[in-house]
A and B are shown apart, each in its own frame.
Chain A
């Protein structure tokens, strides 16, 4: 340590020294490597594989056909023909169907009651019952939407035939059976696939949380178990605070760039996630996001006495940060105070903007406000950290003076 006193490094040199020092520490710590780099390789890949099915197809359902008419058989064939459903068996009663459901052999049940075909022939209203498992949202949605679609087509077929019997042409009959029709266009994610919906935002949450935890693991700069990070003698340390913060930030930015290249570019490419924004715009948005996260991480890390505490205090917030960002649960359904509180995480601001940029392909001017907010956030966290560091150095200095007085 004596050697450092021999020369007087300039500010840029100090930044470089701290930058190298911090990188070395990252590489030397197994736990930090696992969180900062390992997790970024494992998480996006593992999650993407889990969601790679994207949409549910051929969900096995049981059809209880108590009618056994040509109409009910046609209905059954139409259900089976959808890409969503697969009529895998025909239980003889609802009880039998329930048993099969409990054994997990079928995921849903449809019932065509006796008299179905007769009612249709007589011009009475017939009905079909669909029983969908409401405990899994996607299964429920798939079965309900598919059976609704089949029912509409079946109805249209019957209605058109009746109008034609009354002497209308086919085209007239189609219009008469549906005076107003709706064409719904699902924009930005036409196949409504789950992976494309959840992964892009999830990747940003992973980047945020791994950075916060990783920075915490490497330790508060003034934690008990570490020697002082400063190189200059105590009376000149004030000059070193800013270079120290910048060097540290630079090191984490470098690590993040690696993660961004992997998760934001490669994983997106491999799993065909929506990518409508230009990569330059994406980077322009991610830069203030990463800065804000890193400054927040450094600020938080000063709170932990032991390095492992960072995991203990931060991990449980990961799923909460995910929900608060609004990707899987709409923000409008949350209490106001939570929404305000959630702005502490840069991800809450960055993710909606990122999704608009990347999935919807909006221009930079549409996310201007979010970018400004992120820069302000980064600045606020940086100032907090600097003030804390200065106070710490000041306290050290005055302690030193006191000691020299006595």
Chain B
């Protein structure tokens, strides 16, 4: 033929493009899957702050003070008084059937006690099954009742002929000023969302890589692949990976767009480092895919291991439950996930605005995983050429 022979890398790429065109599973891994995953997560977390958690208020006092307390609870942005059961038993039923997350009891004689200067207690029963919502309700109830209580004290102090500043100092000798760092909206959804969207990206990069490299073994097309790459396994891997790397880079940009542009997530460090780290992590997962396939020469087993490995990464990234609370074994275990290092890089650069030198350390840790993956190249070549390893599943 008169067509000049193309570089082997392009031959492999062309071959890969054909394969993608003919198998719907590749298309799912490359387009539909990541798209569905990323957007579902985006919608799950879009609303962000949880507001208006349902509570029941049992008002046994029916005084102007108890009504004031009830209204204050209703006005709290975190709470919504959805029911006013007549007694505590009815309220308990509502709690047990999950209609409300907490019960605040305003006992009879509440106002009277306050006037007589006898200790008045407002008990609150909070469903602690969900630590997150339980914590929010606890904080909101303490704050609301505390404010009303301070108001009563303040009034008394003012009646005792003190000026407002003196009275305030009397009611609250030390004021605690709370500063939430690195989270301007007091909003936890960023962190979950950013971690989950990125793990989705890495998961698909990992699975797609295993799928395409594993299929060569499963279908016994290895020799054909080596032929296209001029029997260089490195060129074969580069050529096969390239289309995936390009498309997944697009998804990485989509995630960043959703997080930073639409989600309002801050970038206090360098966006370049974040993007660089993201791409390095993605490449690492792709290369680990090759390594896993070379090691097990079993497509289904590799996919199973890969899914387990990526899903566990979230738990051990320290995001949901911080390292400080983990036992030593778990902390050591956590180091064996590239995602752990990525998450550190991400929080350091996006939120803390931490030093660049830290970011480079994290990137180097991720690169160590790549080194490991490179050891699998030769093995993969052997597997490609030897019929013994084909069609295993």
**Could you tell me which A residues sit within 8 Å of B by CB distance?**
29-32, 34-35, 39, 42-43, 46-47, 49-57, 59, 75, 102, 107, 116, 119-120, 123-141, 144-145, 147-148, 151, 154-155, 158-159, 162, 172, 174-190, 192-194, 197-198, 213, 217, 305-309, 311-313, 315-320, 323-324, 327-330, 332-335, 338, 352, 355-356, 359-360, 362, 366
Contact = CB atoms under 8 A, between A and B. Distances in A.
A306 B303 contact: no
A324 B44 contact: yes
Nearest to A123: B169
A332 to B, nearest CB: 7
Contact of B177 (A129, A309, A333, A334): A129
Contacts of A187: 95, 125-128
B73 to A, nearest CB: 11
Contacts, number: 347
Interface string B116-133: 011111111111111111
A316 B125 contact: no
Interface centre among A55, A147, A329 (most CB of B within 10 A): A329
Given A50-B316, A192-B131, A311 B303 contact: yes
A333 B48 contact: yes
Nearest to A58: B324
Interface of B: 24-25, 28-29, 33, 36-37, 40-41, 43-54, 69, 95-98, 110, 114, 117-135, 138-139, 141-142, 145-146, 148-149, 152-153, 156, 165-166, 168-183, 186, 188-189, 191-192, 196, 199-200, 203-204, 207, 211, 214, 298-301, 303-305, 307-308, 310-312, 314-316, 318-322, 324-327, 329-330, 333, 347, 351-352, 354-355, 358, 393
B321 A51 contact: yes
A181 B146 CA distance: 7
A366 B120 CA distance: 34
Contacts of A102: 352, 354-355, 358
B interface, by DSSP: helix, strand, loop or mixed?
A: helix
A198 B320 contact: yes
25 contacts: A31-B393, A75-B174, A120-B173, A132-B180, A134-B181, A137-B188, A155-B174, A180-B121, A181-B149, A188-B128, A192-B128, A192-B135, A194-B320, A197-B129, A308-B25, A308-B211, A312-B207, A315-B203, A316-B203, A329-B44, A332-B50, A335-B47, A338-B44, A356-B129, A360-B96
B175 A185 contact: no
B169 A39 contact: no
Nearest to B144: A182
A316 B115 CA distance: 60
B300 to A, nearest CB: 3
Nearest to A324: B44
State the 8 A-B residue pairs at the shortest beta-carbon distance, nearest first: A134-B183, A31-B300, A53-B325, A189-B128, A125-B169, A186-B128, A158-B173, A134-B180
A320 B171 CA distance: 48
Contact of A182 (B51, B146, B214, B352): B146
Contacts of A127: 174-177
B25 A309 contact: yes
A319 B325 contact: no
A128 B176 CA distance: 5
B308 A197 contact: no
Contact of A158 (B96, B153, B174, B325): B174
A164 to B, nearest CB: 13
A56 B130 CA distance: 16
A254 B264 CA distance: 49
Contacts of B196: 319, 323
Contacts of B134: 186, 189, 192
Contact of A366 (B37, B97, B145): B97
Nearest to A194: B321
A125 B174 contact: yes
A175 B173 contact: no
Contact of B179 (A42, A46, A132, A317): A132
Contacts of B181: 131-135
Given A49-B330, A138-B325, A172 B117 contact: yes
A230 to B, nearest CB: 23
Contacts of B142: 148, 182, 184
Given A50-B316, A332-B53, A189 B129 contact: yes
A29 B207 contact: no
B176 A148 contact: yes
A47 B313 CA distance: 10
A50 B95 CA distance: 30
Contacts of B114: 179-180
Contacts of B333: 46, 50
Contact of A176 (B117, B310, B326): B117
B255 to A, nearest CB: 14
B79 to A, nearest CB: 12
B62 to A, nearest CB: 16
Contacts of A172: 117
A31 B298 contact: yes
